[in-house]
Structure 1
Amino acid sequence: MFYEICRIILHTVYRLLFRYKAYGTEHIPEQGAVLLCANHISNWDPPLVGLPLMRRVNFMAKQELFKIPLLSQVLRYLGAFPVKRGATDKKAIRTALSRLQEGKVVVIFPEGTRSKSGRLQKAYSGFGFLALKQPCTVIPVAIIGPYRLFRPVKIIYGSPVNLDDLRVEKITKQEAVLATERIMNSIRQLLENQQSNTSEHNGRSFGNSV
């Protein structure tokens, strides 16, 4: 109940402030483990990824936030768990694996930290290991910003990333790296498709105005 109340409140806030729009939610299975892998451009990202979905999401949040007593409790009620920034956090990955084993939806940001330029950064291979270790549906997610008051922000959920050929009995660093690259390429494709569509729309608008 607490989660749903917070989701409704945040949904209203994001709609009013950022006019957010979501696409591709039909790619999210109604049941079973799901790993949502998104680009990271702002502190506003984590709630946004879960807002359009009917399923409850679990997500990694920087560990500094869990040092604030009241906020820490709220984050945990909302399904968040701490992760150390700047490196692969094995404890956070174990927690994410546990949530996936329970058939839950987990949100991760493979870049590990926000991109100040908005461009996709290099990802940590540990997240590729996570995607391979536990059978789950891996969904690439593209967040199209920037976040500006009363300007549209888009979130796009892509088709599942096929990693079946990399799911071997003993996962090595090579498989983890390949999985990470495949996931990041899927996110990059979503971003590039959006940029291409925007350019075409602007071109048509310019042509019509002449």
Structure 2
Amino acid sequence: MALSFYSFAKGVVSGILKPIYRIEVVGGEHFPKEGGVLLCSNHISNLDPPVVGITAPRPVHFMAKEELFRVPILKHIIRNLNAFPVKRGMSDRQALRTGLDILKDGKVLGIFPEGTRSKDGKLRKGLSGVGFFALRTNAFVVPCAIVGPYKPFRTLKVVYGKPIDMQELREKKTSPEEATEYIMSHIQALLEQH
């Protein structure tokens, strides 16, 4: 049920957003065809989750702020779109467990490491939860850059980078904070290139 609704919703949203924002996808070929993927993107608009959702080659499971799951109709829709709640501003063990399970099941976990939208479009510091997921699993870590602005009929780019090699960091028992910084540097590089 969820996947068919996901596919239906992806088609509808794609049909609306792609013509308005002239969405151009760069680097889609870098996206692993199977296995767990930790998809890490910058965050500049409320439209980022649907834009990443329609441009990623595989279904994405997003962490979404808990407040969205309190809105009666919305909570059913976003659950059917593979989203799960996370309490912001604290260590949410349940959300961490859910995220790890998604990656270990070979699915795609989508995260906006900044935790909130950037008001000026500049990449902010990432939260350590991203590094935690990257270090605790063998999932591919794919950086993504949304290059705006979101203006009707102006091109919006979604750039997927090559998977980041985390093996050395995993072996060195790097801290989640350092792993997050490493991932953020790859997102920054994509933003600068495009």
Give the TM-score taking structure 2 as reference length.
0.93
What are the Cα deviations for residues 49-79 of structure 1, in whole angstroms up to 9, with x where unaligned? 1212331110111111110111101101110
Would you say the 8 A contact 1:86–1:112 is kept in 2? no
Higher relative contact order (CA 8 A, sep 6+): 2
Name the residue aligned to 1:105: 108
1:116 aligned to 2:145? no
Name the residue aligned to 1:4: 7
1:101 shift after superposition: 1.0
Q: CA RMSD in A?
A: 1.4
1:139 shift after superposition: 0.4
SS in structure 2 at match of 1:43: coil
1:165 aligned to 2:172? no
1:31 aligned to 2:34? yes
Name the residue aligned to 1:178: 178
Name the residue aligned to 1:44: 47
Name the residue aligned to 1:198: none
Percent identity over the alignment is 49
1:186-201 equivalences in 2 (<5 Å): 186-194=186-194
Pair 87,142 (structure 1): closer, same or farther in 2 beyond 3 Å: farther
CA distance in 2, matches of 1:155, 1:147: 12
Pair 39,88 (structure 1): closer, same or farther in 2 beyond 3 Å: farther
Would you say the 8 A contact 2:31–2:57 is kept in 1? no
Which letter maps to 1:3?
Y
CA distance in 1, matches of 2:182, 2:118: 19
Greater mean deviation of Cα atoms: 96-105 or 79-88: 79-88
SS in structure 2 at match of 1:116: coil
Name the residue aligned to 2:154: 151
Runs of 4+ in 1 over 2 A off after TM superposition: 84-91
Task: Give the gaps of 5 or more residues in structure 2.
Answer: none
Between structure 1 and structure 2, the one with the greater Rg is: 1
Equivalent residues, number: 191
What are the Cα deviations for residues 61-100 of structure 1, in whole angstroms up to 9, with x where unaligned? 1111110111101101110011223444332222111111
1:29 shift after superposition: 1.1
1:91-102 equivalences in 2 (<5 Å): 91-102=94-105
CA distance in 2, matches of 1:53, 1:123: 21
CA distance in 1, matches of 2:59, 2:136: 22
SS in structure 2 at match of 1:167: helix
